[in-house]
Structure 1
Amino acid sequence: MRVTVLIYSACITLLILIQSTVLDYIKVFNVKPNLLIVAVITVALLRGNVEGAVVGFVLGLLQDASSGKILGFYSLLGMYLGLIVGSVNKRLYRENFFVMIFFTFISSILYEETVYILLTISKGNIDFVYSLKNIVFPEAVYNSVASILIYIIVIKINKKIEGAAKSSRKY
């Protein structure tokens, strides 16, 4: 259990650093991928809804702290995303790239559209077409491409975690 927490902590720190520094320089159509969403989806698909919800909550809380707007907004969205995506992991072949790309694409659209609606609802000027065309859809495509690399890394980490858990059992 301690090894899992250490590995998750190191990966989360690395993702936060990459998200806040390097990705600002590789924007496509003025949109950068959201690696935090991709990480939540990946963990939820591979490890289940509980770990997906915990990782989603922690990553969301860190995103709340870095954005400085509303504390708890992204953490609740991340937790629900991890919970929902993780609840279907037992029904699918989890180590399939197409499953990961599909879930990343759909989840990115739903997550970002929810963020857009909730953050602009107070202004009263919600433009679904603009947000889908200029923000949400390009980011979903970018997240889907980035998910392939993250998925390969997380699969290797997941196999090491499961191997360590099997070797530590005494029965």
Structure 2
Amino acid sequence: MQFDTDGISDACSRFSQIGYGAGYYKSEKFRRIKGDVELRRYITIFVLLIINFLLQTTVFRYIEIAHMVPNLILVVTVAAGLLYGRKCGIFAGVISGLLTDALYGSVIGIGILIYSVVGYLCGAASKLYFEEDLTVPIVAIAGSDVIYGVLYYACNFMLRGRLNILFYVKSVILPEMIYTVILGAVLFRIIHKLDAKINPPVEVLLKPKKPFEG
């Protein structure tokens, strides 16, 4: 009995090329779409940070509560982490820190460090967030504002020998946290709906490439 070895080799070659072509097409298509979605997300967060920073430093200066304004860019940083993960959370933290340091900070870097920590922690907690549930965002905003306040106090006051942290908590951290949480719940919902419109779910149709297609 004789076997057509050339035919078997040709069939195996065709099979391997079909498999490779489909996998290659799938991976390339997925990477391209994923890259486009991530780029839109970063652009969205950047624009939201600029808008909310301008609102925070202008409009809300005239509607202070207990001499405090809400930390809107902190809310955007929390939203970036919860909605998009750690990388986007850190990105939002770096931009927020740069904006804060440029306007208020005497040293560039403290705000970047604090907001980046907040963005990273919220990104790490992104798996806990489910749509239409504001419990996790509210807790995250409140906790992040407390973390921000404590780290800001440690970097700007404690290192200078000002150790009256209880006074700082009562007069600064708590009033700002309450104001930020109230507006943050509304702002987070707006960001979530905006994300659904700007970055809708994409259906990827994977079509294998034809054998020997270049």
Q: TM-score, normalised by structure 2?
A: 0.73
Q: Which residue of the partner structure matches residue 16 of structure 1?
A: 53
Q: CA deviation at 1:61?
A: 1.0
Aligned-residue identity in percent = 24
Q: Which runs of 5+ in 2 are unaligned?
A: 1-35, 207-214
Q: Which residue of the partner structure matches residue 134 of structure 1?
A: 171
Q: CA deviation at 1:60?
A: 1.0
Q: CA deviation at 1:27?
A: 0.6
Q: CA deviation at 1:170?
A: 5.3
Check conservation: 2:141, 2:180, Cα contact below 8 A.
yes
Q: Which residue of the partner structure matches residue 70 of structure 1?
A: 107
Q: Which runs of 5+ in 1 are unaligned?
A: none
Letter in 2 for 1:141: I
Letter in 1 for 2:96: L
Letter in 2 for 1:148: A
The counterpart of 1:50, out of the listed 72, 82, 87, is: 87
Please provide the CA RMSD for this pair.
Answer: 1.7
For residues 89-132 of structure 1, give each alpha carbon's deviation from its aligned partner in whole angstroms, at most 9, with x where no partner exists. 11342541122111111111111111012101232121121011
4+ runs of 1 displaced by more than 2 Å?
1-10, 91-95
Aligned residues: 169
Q: TM-score, normalised by structure 1?
A: 0.90
Answer with 61-70 or 15-24: which moved more.
61-70
Supply the distance in 2 between the matched residues of 1:52 and 1:95 (Cα, whole angstroms). 20
| Residue 125, structure 1, aligned to residue 162, structure 2 | yes
Letter in 2 for 1:83: Y
Check conservation: 2:78, 2:118, Cα contact below 8 A.
yes
Q: Which residue of the partner structure matches residue 100 of structure 1?
A: 137
Q: 1:124 to 1:94 in 2, by over 3 A?
A: farther
Q: CA deviation at 1:42?
A: 1.4
